[in-house]
Amino acid sequence: MSDFVPTRAAGLAAMDAFIPAMGVQYAEGRNYDYGPKKHVSVSVLSPYLRRRLVTEAEAVTVALNAHGKVDAAKFVQEVIWRSYFKGWLEQRPQVWDSYVRGLQLDLVSLKRDRSLRRDVALAENGETRLDYFNAWAQELIETGYLHNHARMWFASIWIFTLALPWHLGADFFYRHLLDGDAASNTLNWRWAAGLHTRGKPYPARAENIATFTSGRFRPRDLDLAVVTQGLETTEPDGLPPILHLRDIEALKPELPTALLLTDEDCQIEDFNLLSTKICTTATLSCTQLRSPREVADAVLSFEKGALADTAARLNVIPSCLTANHPQDLADWAAKAGAKQIFTPFITRGPLRDWMDLATPFLAQHGITLCEQRRDWDEAIWPYATAGFFKVKKQIPRILERTVLK
């Protein structure tokens, strides 16, 4: 069972508790995976950052205030990584589309191939010959969380040692991770496979696992694949070209507006809506869109709690919508007389795909979807076109524009 409470208050409390460790302790200890409920050198804020119950800017600000630019540098970089991945995928949406197609094909194979179905089930249930891999699979299922280093080892072993399709591994994570988002999950798996940084796959090594689990696990070299080449030959055309960021429709405060709350951004208070004519509010449950397979109850429950907390902070009793048929969204807004729907920017992923399906239904009622990007994203995403180093060089400028202004 997850120990994460899906409220902003819980997220802020977790952030405040970790402030003393955001400096040197984080920099020196962040790579160590001590096991379930012992992740003392990492913040474990990701389920809150993922939904912006706590924002990246808030976490970076308290780290800088407590530790200064030098000692907080590593923590700041790791917070920015998530935003880098989001910006990268926004500008290469073809990669998300490719993942969706690849998963669909692998699910067809899973249905037809009995031995593949058996091997995937053993891996997902933590019943392989590798005790460390099994422990991570079970921790993920039971808690909805894994240390980042364990995620890297797990993905590498899934792909290269167990020789399982990477899309199915990414889907397994996405269905169970409380902090799962399309960009970080997809691109981390592609990175392990040698597809994100072309030709540089991530190898899970016995010595590395033993060291950074403090001897909790002691793999044998012969149990792990020797990784000399990634999966780049499966994508011979390389990375797709960079596209311009998607255009968005600006909010017109004078028009009747339907306010849509999703777990894409649960801190709606940050958006200036005081002069907007809001005629109705709804929460939209969309976590079930993560996968054609069953999404973990803990993930669904966290989304439900986060949306309820967001509505409560706004002091509204919203309509409760589920992302099933897009017509439902149009009917809800039209019934209230809305001419536009406002929601914070929806990044590339299953909800964005669903909203694209909904757009024609909204248009039939003369309703426009309006979004707004945060300054944090606007500051980072233009640099997220290649490797992280390009963003890293710009961190002083990013901070000046966002949290130090």
pLDDT digits (tens), the chain, 405 positions: 568 999 999 999 999 999 999 999 999 999 999 999 999 999 999 999 999 999 999 999 999 999 999 999 999 999 999 999 999 999 999 999 999 999 999 999 999 999 999 999 999 999 999 999 999 999 999 999 999 999 999 999 999 999 999 999 999 999 999 999 999 999 999 999 999 999 899 999 999 999 999 999 999 999 999 999 999 999 999 999 999 999 999 999 999 999 999 999 999 999 999 999 999 999 999 999 999 999 999 999 999 999 999 999 999 999 999 999 999 999 999 999 999 999 999 999 999 999 999 999 999 999 999 999 999 999 999 999 999 999 999 999 999 999 987
> Shortest CA distance to 228 belongs to which of 162, 165, 160?
160
Measure the CA–CA gap between 387 and 372, rounded to whole angstroms: 26
Measure the CA–CA gap between 33 and 23, rounded to whole angstroms: 18
Measure the CA–CA gap between 377 and 85, rounded to whole angstroms: 11
Measure the CA–CA gap between 156 and 186, rounded to whole angstroms: 14
Q: State phi, psi for 231 to the nearest 5 degrees.
A: -100, 20
Measure the CA–CA gap between 340 and 363, rounded to whole angstroms: 10
Can you tell me which residue has the tokens 């990375």? 239
Based on the number of CB atoms within 10 Å of its own CB, is 20 exposed (0-12), middle (13-18) or buried (19 or more)? exposed
Measure the CA–CA gap between 59 and 79, rounded to whole angstroms: 8
Q: Is beta strand 278-285 parallel, antiparallel or unpaired with respect to 319-322?
A: parallel
> Shortest CA distance to 103 belongs to which of 294, 351, 296, 291?
291
Q: What pLDDT sits at residue 2?
A: 66
Measure the CA–CA gap between 185 and 171, rounded to whole angstroms: 9
Query: Cβ distance 220 to 206 under 8 Å?
Result: yes
Q: What pLDDT sits at residue 404?
A: 86
Helix (H) or strand (E) holding 139: helix 131-143
The residue count of the chain comes to: 405
Angle, CA 160 vertex, CA 155 and CA 164 arms, to 5° = 75
Structural domains in the chain, CATH included, are 8-90+379-402 (1.25.40), 96-234 (1.10.579.10), 257-373 (3.40.50.620)
Measure the CA–CA gap between 293 and 307, rounded to whole angstroms: 23
Partners of 285 in beta bridges: 322
Q: Is beta strand 340-344 parallel, antiparallel or unpaired with respect to 257-261?
A: parallel
* Its pTM surpasses 0.95: yes
Give the chain's radius of gyration (CA, Å). Answer: 21
CA distances from 136 to 41, 126, 215, 265 (A): 18, 8, 15, 29
Measure the CA–CA gap between 278 and 285, rounded to whole angstroms: 20
Measure the CA–CA gap between 329 and 349, rounded to whole angstroms: 18
Query: Cβ distance 175 to 120 under 8 Å?
Result: no
CA distances from 319 to 8, 23, 282, 284, 353 (A): 21, 43, 4, 9, 22
Q: State phi, psi for 115 to the nearest 5 degrees.
A: -70, -40
Sheet with 340-344, edge to edge strand ranges: 319-322, 278-285, 257-261, 340-344, 368-372
Instruction: Report the greatest alpha carbon distance in the chain.
Output: 67
Helix (H) or strand (E) holding 344: strand 340-344
Which residues are CB-contacts of 109 (< 8 A; sequence separation ≥ 6)? 116, 165
Measure the CA–CA gap between 25 and 69, rounded to whole angstroms: 15
Specify the DSSP class assigned to residue 215.
T
Partners of 192 in beta bridges: none
Q: What pLDDT sits at residue 1?
A: 52
> Shortest CA distance to 50 belongs to which of 351, 402, 257?
351
